[in-house]
Amino acid sequence: MTAYTVQMEQLPGLLAAWSTQCQVHVPVSLDNGFYDFGPWRPGTEIAFEYDVAYNPLKRFFMPPREDMVVFDLETYSAKPVFAAPNILLFGVHPYDVKAVTQLDQLMESGSVDQNYFSRRDATVIFALTPMAVSETAFWASVGADKVDQGYDLYWTKIGPGTFHVEIGSGKGEELLLAAGPLSPATAGSREAARKAQVRARNLGLRRKLNYDWHETPHVMGRSWNASLWHRKAEKCLGCGSCNTVCPTCYCFDIREEVDEKLKTGHRFREWDGCMLNGFALVAGNHNFRPQASERYRHRYMRKGKYIFDKIGELGCVGCGRCVRACTSKIADPCEIFNTLWEESRHEI
């Protein structure tokens, strides 16, 4: 695989070159001890050693609210709306890359989500080997500490001022060489990158599943009647925060609004979540998951089984955002999967 070595002092020139073509977003430190992706401008300090981006990166492909159609009530005509800003995400951790490639697969299956892909296709992703891990993450134990696709470049910091950069796509290589030629990677830098990635894996294993993650769908299949669903759901606020911060949750609701002249209007989608009571509410005021415990079980069935049954990977990448976002402290997939595994391991 083609790889280059990039020095820290070459970065400002590269970022300046990239920002002429795209909106560049990088991990930055918020002033309250958290990190998130923010727009890069000359002088922006990139938080290479961030633990996790506070908010999920799905917002770049599925904004919280997005127009889909504009319509005219006088001519009874409508036309679709597609937005595709050129975006470059620099410094995305592998588990978040994995979340994006999972969304890619799900948005493509059945009816292709064209709004999603118009944004996705205009996005460049530069992955970064993690150098820190948040207290709630467990990504290494669900196979999300390293990815082999879904990125245009894969950056690994191998020294105080040196990066090893693997090429993932032609577009990535073109952008990497945008400010002039770079030194090809050496055997030494490749080895240093490999070690950094092993270090990341060990770091990511501080919290972990107590069994091979591939067993999860079987564990979930045996847990439909587990008492855990009721125990946990009693404390559920039904706030949907576990959904909204989840990098792989993509459900949305569609609504319409007309302008004040009552002549034109727009149809838009907004984030929705299966933990909200109204999510499964249908015509006639029927709710096919009326109990909090049913909604709670559904979310973990999605993460541990239903998504796996579709695409062969867990619907959870172990980022730990939901664990932190749940104020009731009941949304910990690692704890839930471990508990259910423990409870069901002796069953046939």
Partner 1 sequence: METEPVTLTSNETCLLSAKPRIAFFDFAGCEGDQLQIANLEEKLLDILAHVEVVSFREIKTGHGDDYDIAFVEGSITRPEDEERIKEIRSKAKVLVALGACAAIGGINCLKNFMGEGFYRDVVYGPQAGWYRTYAARPLSAVVTVDAEIPGCPIDRLEFARVVKELLLGRTPWLPDYPVCVECKMAGNVCRFDMGKMCLGIITRAGCGACCVTEGAHCWGCRGLFPTANLDAARQVMDRAGFDRRQVQDLMRFFLGDTRAGL
Site for partner 1 in 256-315 (CB under 8 A): 257-262, 270-271, 273, 276-278, 292
Site for partner 1 in 204-263 (CB under 8 A): 234-241, 244-245, 255, 257-262
DSSP state at residue 305: I
Minimum gap (Å) between residue 62 Cβ and partner 1: 11
Which of 324, 276, 323 lies closest to 298 in space, CA to CA? Answer: 276
Minimum gap (Å) between residue 256 Cβ and partner 1: 9
Minimum gap (Å) between residue 190 Cβ and partner 1: 37
The answer to whether 58 and 244 have CB atoms below 8 angstroms apart is no
Phi, psi of 66 (to 5 degrees): -145, 130
Minimum gap (Å) between residue 70 Cβ and partner 1: 16
Give the 3-state secondary structure of residue 346.
coil
For the chain, how far is it from start to end, CA to CA, in angstroms?
Answer: 44
Site for partner 1 in 29-68 (CB under 8 A): 30, 32, 34, 36, 54-55, 59, 64-65
For tokens 């693997």, name the residue: 166
Which of 131, 125, 126 lies closest to 195 in space, CA to CA? Answer: 131
DSSP state at residue 53: B
Q: How many residues bind partner 1 (CB under 8 A)?
A: 38
Q: Which of 107, 147, 307, 325 binds partner 1 (CB under 8 A)?
A: 325
| Paired strand residues for 78 | 71
The residue type found at 316 is: C
Q: Which is nearer to partner 1, 83 or 311 (CB)?
A: 83
Query: Which residues form the interface with partner 1 (CB under 8 A)?
Result: 30, 32, 34, 36, 54-55, 59, 64-65, 234-241, 244-245, 255, 257-262, 270-271, 273, 276-278, 292, 324-325, 327-329
